[in-house]
Amino acid sequence: MSLQVEDALVDATTEKRRSPTRTRLWGVLLAPPAIWMIVFFISSIAIVVMLSFGHVNDVGKAVFGFSLDNYKALADPVYLKVLLRSAMFAIATTVISLVLGYPVAYTIALHGGKYKNALVAFLVIPFFASYLIRMYAWSTLLADEGLVNQLLRDTGLTEGIRFLNTPGAVVAGLVYGSIVFMVLPIYASLERMDTALIEAGKDLYHSPLQTFFAVTVPATRAGMLGGVLLVFLPALGDFVSAQLLGGPSTYMIGNLIQQQFFEGHDQPLGSALTVVLMLALLVFMVFYLRATQRVNRET
């Protein structure tokens, strides 16, 4: 194999056109990630798809089968209701992340100066701790008799505020968990943008705000679309935020899937739900791909 690699290197330097040896090298390099994907990603999806046509036997064991019963069970309006609720939460999360995240990315990219990289690093630091741990931390801080409410009571302004177990808390948790995925792509596209464009906009008698919407926003559309995708998709499938910060009526599709797997003893039904969710996400993915293609054509 080392011989092949050497060959390939020689080929690569001496020959500009592709050769069979060179493609073999790429094939070899592709093998580990391909095996990784097959073992840990594709096979698990395949199991989920196959299991979604199965059922649970009388001793509670999931078995494969060829029935559509699980999909028929999903016709129950309760699932549509939860899916819509999840979509609302995910849309709210995405919009809030965009509105909060854009100024952050803008400030770092255009006014960060020599601290730019340090500022980006600071944004990422909270991610050193797991999402779950941070959610637990929030639920401790914001509890009715937690630190924040104690401080509020000490000020004498309020008797304390109920933060937790509300739809707002779920969305706040989602925003907190994913906003950095909005900031980073926007930051990257702002970084790449030629600031001379902004100067040009001002030279053409645009106000700063007009320049922002006519020049900066279109130039960073690809970054925004990337951010929207990275925030929306995980938010739609999330269950941690609703589990730890939610109330009795904030159940999301992710919670429902988790319940089927871990509580309902019905992994086939959970699999069918997963497949439906994946198909729904696929629709957004196609929308995203088309939108980015349009952006690419325009620029």
Partner 1 sequence: MTEPSLSFNRRDFLRGSFGVGAAAALAACGFSGDSATPSTSASASAAAPMAQAKVDGDLVYYNWADYCDPTVLSGFKEKYGVNIIEANYDGYAGMLAKIQAGNAYDVALPGARYVELMRKQGLIQKIDKSQLKNADQLFGWGSYFDNPWYDPNSDYSTPFSMWTTGIAYRKDKVTTASGTWQDLWNEQAKGHIYVLDEDDEALGMAALKLGLDVNTANPDDLAKIKDVLISQKPYLRAYSTDDINNLASGNAWIHHAWSGDFLNFINNTATDPENWVYELPTDGSPLNSDAWVIPANAPHPGTALLWLDWIMQPDNVEKNINYIAYPLLSKSGPDIYAKMAANYPSLEVDVSKVVNPTVYKNHNATDQAARNAVWTEVKAA
Residues interacting with partner 1, by CB under 8 A? Answer: 18, 20, 22-24, 26-27, 30, 34, 37-39, 41-47, 50-51, 54-65, 73, 76, 78-79, 81-82, 139-140, 143-146, 162, 164-165, 246-249, 251, 255-256, 259-267, 269
| 3-class DSSP state of 42 | helix
In order of 47, 52, 164, the CA distances from 38 in angstroms are 12, 20, 41
Those residues whose C-beta lies under 8 Å from the C-beta of residue 47, and which sit 6 or more positions away, are 271
Of 146 and 218, CB closest to partner 1: 146
Q: Taking the complex as a whole, how short is the minimal distance between the CB of residue 72 and partner 1, in angstroms? A: 12
DSSP for 106-165, please give it: HHHHHH-GGGHHHHHHHHHGGGGS-HHHHHHHHHHHTSTTSHHHHHHHHHTS-S----SS
Of 18 and 111, CB closest to partner 1: 18
Of 143 and 152, CB closest to partner 1: 143
Of 125 and 145, CB closest to partner 1: 145
Q: Taking the complex as a whole, how short is the minimal distance between the CB of residue 98 and partner 1, in angstroms? A: 28
Q: Which two three-digit tokens encode residue 255?
A: 């919670």
Q: Taking the complex as a whole, how short is the minimal distance between the CB of residue 239 and partner 1, in angstroms? A: 12
Q: Taking the complex as a whole, how short is the minimal distance between the CB of residue 173 and partner 1, in angstroms? A: 13
In order of 33, 34, 89, the CA distances from 4 in angstroms are 20, 20, 53
Rounded to an integer, what distance in angstroms lies between the CA atom of residue 171 and that of residue 93?
6
Among candidate residues 188, 190, 180, the one with its CA nearest the CA of residue 215:
190
Of 111 and 265, CB closest to partner 1: 265
Of 20 and 156, CB closest to partner 1: 20
Rounded to an integer, what distance in angstroms lies between the CA atom of residue 157 and that of residue 262?
43
Q: Taking the complex as a whole, how short is the minimal distance between the CB of residue 5 and partner 1, in angstroms? A: 15
| Phi/psi at 55 (5° precision) | -155, 175
Q: Taking the complex as a whole, how short is the minimal distance between the CB of residue 77 and partner 1, in angstroms? A: 10
